[in-house]
Structure 1
Amino acid sequence: MDLFEALHTRRSIRAFTPEPVSEADCETVLRAAMAAPSAGNAQPWHFVVITDRAVLDAIPAIHAHAAMVTGAPMAIAVAAELSLEKYPGFGYWTLDCSAAVENLMLAARGLGLGTVWCGIYPRPERMEGLGKLLQFPEGVTAHALVVIGHPAQEFRRVDRFKPERIHRNVW
């Protein structure tokens, strides 16, 4: 798929078929995620691939807006190992993980897979809940959950371009 087609047709998909995501597709999206830029090239991210139905079904108790995960074959939790930050204390890990999430979702779109980004950070109850559910070690913190699968709804192009939001040189 053309890059710009993927960019402009990527949408939050909340309905999935029961078909599993192949290991090859899973690796492809994870490779794309790990190709993201990061502050000082620290790459503080870790990814937990979740396919266990009991674990997927437990997620809405942590994040009520992630209920679509119960109908998806897979989710990927994105977390940061804070000791890997090159510039600790500035919170760049959140930017690094966000870039990884976007790459992951665009790669999934390119493969014809659907995704929805469920925000975990900065909500402490979600961060702690997901970390506990997935047994994160000390020093690893949850950032996001990407629900992924074969879409049971259409991708559609939406023009979000707003020229009035563009400023040149000064506001």
Structure 2
Amino acid sequence: MNILFTRRSVRSFTDEAVSEAQVEQLLKAAMQAPSARNQQCWEFIVVTKKDDLVKLSQTHSGAKPIENAPVCIIVLGNKERMVMPDRWEQDLGAVTQNILLQATELGLGSVWCGIAPAEDRMDLVKNMYGLNDNLLVYCTIAIGHPKNSDALKFVDRYDSSRVTYVK
């Protein structure tokens, strides 16, 4: 459970590359996520091309960390695989969390940059990669080696006042 407590949003990265083996581990973790009726509607684009990272960082103000990340994973939902079309965002939320947790396990930093449901953002990324109408852009995730050595540290967020027990 340590990775659950040390996962942080990391927005500054070193120049050190993320290996293909590490990216594969992130994608394997992603594909272990639960999905509604096992629809597994996910697809991914792995971006390492600097020009594209810069363009993706300009999709909205919260996406700026992508510019200096060595890798960005774009998480997509494929409509053709959606058995329960009203659950795709929940499925891809679980996928995204798995990527973030696996990044922490590998000593990598990551930050979830929201795209959906903002259609202007979704269309921007869709047009950038010439995606067909069956693919919905869910989010982008900047990934890299944290610039700050204590970026992945425990911060206690537990607040018992936010919990109601019904007995």
TM-score by length of 2: 0.95
Residue 138 of structure 1 aligns with an amino acid whose one-letter code is: D
CA deviation digits over 1:7-35, x for unaligned, max 9? 10100000001111101100001000000
Q: 1:161 aligns with which of 158, 162, 167?
A: 158
Question: C-alpha distance in 2, partners of 1:135/1:64?
Answer: 23
Partner of 2:14: 17
Question: C-alpha distance in 2, partners of 1:135/1:158?
Answer: 41
Which stretch of structure 1 is more off in the superposition, 19-28 or 151-160? 151-160
Partner of 1:84: 81
Question: C-alpha distance in 1, partners of 2:48/2:37?
Answer: 32
Shift of 1:64: 2.2
Question: C-alpha distance in 1, partners of 2:137/2:29?
Answer: 19
What is the SS of the residue equivalent to 2:126?
helix
Structure 2 residue 31 is the aligned partner of structure 1 residue 34: yes
Which stretch of structure 1 is more off in the superposition, 136-145 or 28-37? 136-145
Find runs of 4+ consecutive structure 1 residues off by over 2 angstroms: none
Structure 2 residue 95 is the aligned partner of structure 1 residue 100: yes
CA deviation digits over 1:60-87, x for unaligned, max 9? 3322221111111010000100121112
The RMSD of aligned alpha carbons is: 1.1
Residue 135 of structure 1 aligns with an amino acid whose one-letter code is: G
Shift of 1:135: 2.1
Residue 111 of structure 1 aligns with an amino acid whose one-letter code is: L
Shift of 1:131: 1.1
Question: C-alpha distance in 1, partners of 2:107/2:122?
Answer: 29
What is the SS of the residue equivalent to 2:146?
coil
> Mind listing any 5+ residue stretches in structure 1 that lack a counterpart?
none
What is the SS of the residue equivalent to 1:47?
strand
Question: C-alpha distance in 1, partners of 2:66/2:50?
Answer: 9
What is the SS of the residue equivalent to 1:157?
coil
Partner of 1:57: 54
Structure 2 residue 136 is the aligned partner of structure 1 residue 135: no
What is the SS of the residue equivalent to 1:29?
helix
Residue 157 of structure 2 aligns with an amino acid whose one-letter code is: R
Q: 1:110 aligns with which of 105, 109, 112?
A: 105
TM-score by length of 1: 0.93
Q: Once the two structures are aligned, what percentage of the paired residues are identical? A: 38
Shift of 1:134: 2.2
